[in-house]
Amino acid sequence: MVTPAHAESFTPSAGLIASLATTAWLDTAPTGATLCCLLLVPQQPHTLYETPTVIEQHMRAVAKALRLGPATAPPPDIGPRLRLITPTEVTLRFDGSPYRKRIPTGRHWPLLLRQGTPAALILGLDPLSRSAAPAEIDSYLDCATPRGRLLFGHTRTE
């Protein structure tokens, strides 16, 4: 079992990175500019080992590998982490890991990233289904934000 003492040295594995559910969408920043948004969340537990505590520890390790910050502070600039790989996909780089997360984005995301549009990276600590509808995602974000269950950062293409 991963304990808090071990979570400090835990590096996200290929399996953990692959298991993350992702949702990409476009939004408007407070300044009125277009913003690419990316949500990363864990999946529901599949084994007895995957307790809510273990899942949260793994997600906090992922957040550390991405240098994300809490919602109580301005989102940190986490540096360039996105790489365009096809007209409809990007990959996300994690510190300390040779593995990247492949993310389907649709056509608008890569076009905007090529123009220098920043991306807001949001990591949820609680599970959400890969098949969640937009209303479920909005509800997840609305509920998780005041509870401090989201971590944030701003990134861009490499």
Domain residue spans in the chain? Answer: 4-122+135-157
* Percent share of the chain, pLDDT over 70: 94
User: Confidence class of residue 121 from pLDDT cuts 50, 70 and 90?
Assistant: very high
Report pLDDT for 127. Answer: 93
Q: 46: how many CB neighbours lie within 10 A of its CB?
A: 8
State the DSSP H helix or E strand holding residue 23, giving kind and residue range, or none if neither.
strand 21-28
DSSP state of 73: S
Residues 6+ apart with CB under 8 A from 78: 66, 67, 68, 121, 153, 154, 155
Tokens for 127, please give them.
Answer: 């599970």
Decide: 24 and 2 in contact? Cβ < 8 Å.
no
Mean pLDDT, the chain, whole residue set: 89
- Whether residue 3 is predicted with pLDDT greater than 70 in this model: the reply is no
Q: Is the pLDDT of residue 31 over 90?
A: no
| Residue 77: its H or E element | strand 77-86
Burial 17-33 (b: 16+ CB within 10 A, else e): bebbbbbbeeeeeeeee
Tens of pLDDT, residue by residue over 128-155, are: 988 889 999 999 999 999 999 999 999 9
Q: Which residues pair with 100 in a beta bridge?
A: 93
DSSP state of 107: S
Cα–Cα distance for residue pair 58/41, rounded to 1 Å: 11
What mean pLDDT is predicted for residues 66-90?
Answer: 94
CA atoms of 30 and 118, how far apart (whole Å): 13
Q: Helices (H) and strands (E) in the chain — how many of each?
A: 5, 8
